[in-house]
Amino acid sequence: MNKKLQVFISSTFIDLKDERQAAVSAILKAGHIPAGMELFKAADKSQWEIIKRWIDESDVYMLILGGRYGSIDPQKGVSYTELEYDYAVETGKPLFAVVIEESALEEKVKTNGLEFLERERPSELKLFKEKVLKNMSSFFNDLKDIRLTVMESLPEIAQMNDLSGWVSGDDIPDVNGLINEVNELRDKIKDLEKENNQLKINKSRESNTNDYQELIKVLEFIKVKIPEKVSKQNAEIEMTLLQLFKNSSNYLITGITNAFDVSDGESFLYHDVCPKLQIHGLVENEKVTGAKYRRFAITKKGVEFLAYLEKKKVLKE
């Protein structure tokens, strides 16, 4: 593409100098032309007219929204940054915005002080942000995100709109380096996403392990008396609920019913053991289709807990 798009960059100034510079750099690397309000005095009405003319003459409008609302137009009671944005929307200017993530804003305030945070008109800033997020926008955490958004948004806008742009003869910018940079950034993002997902998995496993260890203590604390006719040891014996769960795991996997012809052992498991296990979510009572009896069956949690116990046993051995 021969055309160089002129991109008007709008933002509050003092708190977003680095972000603006990142946008300018990315726009230039993409072979386009940046323009911005730092060339003008926002409070000067004649300068405001000039700014509007620059927005009119630009091909694309870009907003960088941080933690400040910006200086206020005394007549309209609206910040000049929002006035610029509203004017771009009203005139149908192709636009996109990058909005700072809350975590990034907190870090910026922590590093630079409260002057980077809106304290006088937070409600106006909130409403402005909600308006911006309804149109083409994305969040940023650091300067890399801003550069990446510029690189991805400008080609998309250029394809969707018949923009005049600036033409410099047959001079076509070499964007191979930029494409490689974008690809590298995308690869880094993918790697970070994989790393983040793995951390979530590890955290989940650690949480499950802690839960299982607590469940073992609870089940070991609960004692169940086994009648003589079930124990077949000429005496009533006592076992922990954990022992009974492990010993009856094969029955629980296939299901324990209250049918009339079940053995004394199965009847004991159904009426005396399974209800206690159900309290901890290890089994559930269900109706058997086409039958008059019901069945206790092991739950997903029960299967996972049983697998944990077996794995723990193997590692111990």
Q: Give the pLDDT of residue 174.
A: 62
Task: Give the domain range for residue 64.
Answer: 3-165+178-184
On whether both 34 and 161 belong to a single domain, the answer is yes
On whether both 152 and 227 belong to a single domain, the answer is no
Q: Give the pLDDT of residue 40.
A: 55
Across the range 181-195, mean pLDDT stands at: 88
* pLDDT class of 45 with cuts at 50, 70, 90: low
How many domains is the chain built from? Answer: 2
Least confident of 35-39, 114-118, 120-124: 35-39
Distance CA 194, CA 202 (A): 12
192-239: per-residue pLDDT in tens? 888 888 877 777 666 677 888 888 988 888 988 888 777 777 777 888
295-317: per-residue pLDDT in tens? 898 999 888 888 888 887 777 76
**Last residue within a domain, chosen from 152, 184, 216:** 184
Residue 165, CB half-sphere, CA atoms under 13 Å: how many?
Answer: 18
3 state DSSP class of 190: helix
* pLDDT class of 171 with cuts at 50, 70, 90: low
Q: Which is nearest to 108 in space by CA: 97, 120, 100, 99?
A: 100
List C-alpha distances in Å: 193 to 38, 71, 139, 198, 206: 37, 38, 16, 9, 20
Beta strands 283-287; 3-4: pairing state? unpaired
Is the confidence at residue 167, as pLDDT, over 70?
no
On whether both 83 and 153 belong to a single domain, the answer is yes
7-25: per-residue pLDDT in tens? 999 999 889 999 999 999 9
On whether both 27 and 120 belong to a single domain, the answer is yes
Across the range 254-279, mean pLDDT stands at: 86
Residue 229 buriedness (CB in 10 A; 0-12 / 13-18 / 19+): exposed
**Last residue within a domain, chosen from 155, 184, 213:** 184
On whether both 141 and 265 belong to a single domain, the answer is no
3 state DSSP class of 270: helix
List C-alpha distances in Å: 249 to 75, 238, 253: 77, 18, 6
Q: Give the pLDDT of residue 168.
A: 56
On whether both 161 and 252 belong to a single domain, the answer is no
Q: Contact at 8 Å (CB) between 297 and 252? A: yes
* pLDDT class of 74 with cuts at 50, 70, 90: confident
Question: What is the pTM assigned to this prediction?
Answer: 0.52
What is the rounded average pLDDT for all residues in the chain?
85
Helix axes of 17-29 and 176-221: crossing angle, nearest 10 degrees: 130
Q: Give the pLDDT of residue 312.
A: 79
| Token pair of 213 as six digits | 């260890």
Task: Classify residue 226: in a domain, yes or no.
Answer: yes
Distance CA 49, CA 42 (A): 10
| Residues in CB range of 191: below 8 A, 6 or more apart | none
On whether both 63 and 110 belong to a single domain, the answer is yes
